[in-house]
C-alpha cells in the first residue's frame, strides 16, 4: 500500500527540497563531509587533466563522488543511532563501525583508482 502524500511533479519538488535540506545539514554538522567535498571539488579539474579518455575522466569523477555519497549514508546511520540513545550498545557500535568501514573502503578504492591512473598516464608504469 502506497503511503499518502504528494504525487507527480509536486513529489519531485518536495523530494528535491528534502535532499537540499540533507546536504545543508551534512555541510553544517559533518566535518568529514565538508573536507571530502572540498577535496573532490579541487580534484575535479585534475580529473580532466589526468584522464586520457572520457571513460577515465568519468571513472575519476564517479569514484570521487562515491566517497561523498557513502559519507552521507554513514552520517545518516550515525544520526539514527544517536537518536535512539546515547548509552553504549553493541549493535549501535557495530552500526557506526560498519558505516565507518564503508567510508574507509570508498576512500581506499578512490586512492587505488587515482593512483592507478597517475601511474599509467603520468608515470608510464604500464
Q: Distance (Å, rounded) from C-alpha 98 to C-alpha 18?
A: 25
Contact between 74 and 102 under an 8 Å Cβ cutoff? The reply is yes
Q: 71, 78, 87, 90: which is the annotated catalytic residue?
A: 71
Q: Is 78 a catalytic residue?
A: no
Residue 91, C-alpha cell as written in the block: 549493535
Residue 60 CB neighbour total at 10 angstroms:
21
Secondary structure (H, E, C), 77-100: HHHHHHHHCCCCCHHHHHHHHHHH
* Catalytic residue set: 71
Amino acid at each position: 500500500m502506497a503511503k499518502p502524500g504528494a504525487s507527480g511533479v509536486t513529489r519531485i519538488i518536495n523530494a528535491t527540497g528534502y535532499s537540499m535540506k540533507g546536504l545543508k545539514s551534512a555541510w553544517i554538522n559533518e566535518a568529514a563531509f565538508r573536507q571530502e567535498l572540498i577535496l573532490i571539488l579541487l580534484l575535479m579539474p585534475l580529473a580532466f587533466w589526468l584522464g586520457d579518455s572520457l571513460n577515465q575522466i568519468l571513472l575519476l569523477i564517479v569514484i570521487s563522488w562515491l566517497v561523498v555519497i557513502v559519507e552521507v549514508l554513514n552520517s545518516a546511520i550515525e544520526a539514527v543511532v544517536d537518536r535512539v540513545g546515547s548509552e553504549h550498545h553493541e549493535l549501535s557500535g557495530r552500526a557506526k563501525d560498519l558505516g565507518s568501514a564503508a567510508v574507509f573502503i570508498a576512500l581506499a578504492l578512490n586512492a587505488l583508482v587515482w593512483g592507478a591512473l597517475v601511474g599509467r598516464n603520468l608515470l608510464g608504469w604500464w
